[in-house]
Chain A
Amino acid sequence: MGPDISHHPLHGADGSVTFSSKLCSILAAANGPVEVQRRDELPEEAAVEVNIRPVSGVSGPRERWLESVVAAVLRSVLHLHMHPRTLIQVTLQITKAPSSTLKGAVQDVALLPSLINASFLALADGGLPLRNTVAAVLLAVVSTGEVREEPSEKELVGCKSLHGLAYNNHGDLLLSESAGGFDLAEWERIADQAEETCRAAMAPLDEDGVVMEGTTSSGPWLRQELTDKAQAAVAWREAT
């Protein structure tokens, strides 16, 4: 099945979610639109602020970089012009990360897809205006040359290259971060597979809520989660 998701764990935040994949767990909170500091204010659109808190210690240059990458993706997902001169704030607390020592870049890329998925779900929970649906996926080329979706920690240690990609529902590439050695042909193959996986995550459900297209093991987990949540929100309508 797909990742483990629980909606709205935080009561103070406008939108929040806990997101657990094989490698890591993330607690995400989205607030917005809120008042923005004067120096961050943009006259025509909302400012996006992403804060990443590591499992332990204070955030450093590594988290700054992750923040900038996540913020760039969120900017292309949000309808920023709908709330000018405001702030949309996303806070991501990493609660579990790969424990074994990984090479620097591998460690960073391994977290990115989960960060993107968690922040998207938090924004959706907070009812912020979104341009499109986005899903991110982590792909690893293991030592035998095989491509693994959502690799385990063991596979990460010996992998040749690691790729974090995100696609939206129109099939546009929103995130591409890689680590390790690979050639262009290999990357193209990986990108095709990633697009298929991302689209499968939001593939339509048929009448019984069973997978219609996409044969990946996790199925349309993203659509399933959002559909279940939306139906729970209108359960009172059926009752009356």
Chain B
Amino acid sequence: MAAAMVLLPGEEIPTDRLPKPKKGKLTLGPGLQHTPPSIISATTAGSLQVDHRKAALWLEHAGGRYQPSVGDLVIAQIHHSSVETFSCALTPHTSFAILGQLAFEGVSKKTRPQLKAGDVVYARVSRASKWEDVEIECFNSATGKAEGMGQLKGGMVFDVRPAFARRLMMGTDKEGVSKGGVVVLEEVGGKVKFEVAVGRNGKVWVDSGSVRETVMIGHLLRGADEGGWDVEGQRKAVKKALRDV
């Protein structure tokens, strides 16, 4: 692949860089804007990524606040509860996301979950629009199954950058190689037992046998994020941390 092209805000994408879709439809991701009829320009500074198979293109950017979009898995903290909904914080200082009291698996009006302020839930964004409040749910509303979502009991939440959370969630390819280039969790998992949930809003929840191990995993993740460690560097740091615990 040729070196990624870097665009500055307001610059147009040269037409020869655009993928040629079979259906004649392009998908634009974050950081790009379409000005009819045919101008596609950048709205932030980032490197252009193109997926030719899906005819999709987006700008990859490291920082910034999480912007909710439908389908994202997030870790939300309950702020307060009202008659029918919980108000949850996804990112600091933004208006609250709404979580229905009945948006959990197998819940009826009589068995609604008793969540207090400060409790943490793993949820999916079900509605996101710039004009109204974000809505999240702790079950798949099509099937009624929890699919791993719900309240996260115990453990600790660590803040990472949203871009790093995205890399953590990319999973592995067929050969078992991490697509996002993050091997911290796999490496630690070889030695220590723990549970983890990654929220797209830049939060990682970790729970293991002891606070010591939990904090160690959190520190490793933050180090890999802020230090920009490569795979080899991550392996080294994990080995060192496991020796110290």
Residue positions of A touching B, CB distance < 8 A: 8, 11, 14-15, 31-35, 77, 79, 82-84, 86, 124-133, 168-170, 202, 222-223, 226-227, 229-237, 239-240
Contact = CB atoms under 8 A, between A and B. Distances in A.
Given A33-B94, A133-B8, A169-B8, A233 B65 contact: no
Given A14-B64, A33-B65, A202 B44 contact: no
B134 to A, nearest CB: 12
Rank and list the top 10 A-B pairs by shortest CB-CB distance, nearest first.
A127-B64, A132-B10, A233-B62, A130-B9, A236-B181, A34-B93, A226-B45, A129-B43, A240-B181, A133-B8
B220 to A, nearest CB: 16
Q: How large is the interface on B (under 10, 10 to 19, 20 to 34, 35 or more residues)?
A: 35 or more
A130 B10 contact: yes
A15 B64 contact: yes
B52 to A, nearest CB: 16
A240 B179 contact: yes
A104 to B, nearest CB: 34
Contact of A240 (B6, B65, B178): B178
Contacts, number: 116
State the majority secondary structure of interface residues on B: loop
B29 to A, nearest CB: 13
A202 B8 contact: yes
A133 B63 contact: no
B53 interface: no
B44 A14 contact: no
Contacts of B131: 84
A169 B45 CA distance: 13
A15 B63 contact: yes
B187 interface: no
A31 B31 CA distance: 17
A226 B59 CA distance: 13
Contact of B43 (A11, A130, A170): A130
Interface string B27-68: 000010100000000011111010000000000111111000
Contacts of B211: none
Given A130-B9, A131-B10, A230-B6, A79 B181 contact: no
A11 B182 CA distance: 21
A129 B43 CA distance: 5
B11 interface: yes
Given A133-B9, A232-B228, A126 B130 contact: no
B108 interface: no
B215 interface: no
Given A31-B93, A35-B94, A239-B231, A230 B46 contact: yes
B107 interface: no
Contacts of A234: 4, 47, 49, 60
Given A8-B63, A130-B9, A231 B93 contact: no
Contact of B63 (A83, A127, A226, A239): A127
Given A34-B65, A79-B33, A230-B45, 5 more contacts: A15-B64, A33-B65, A226-B6, A230-B47, A236-B230
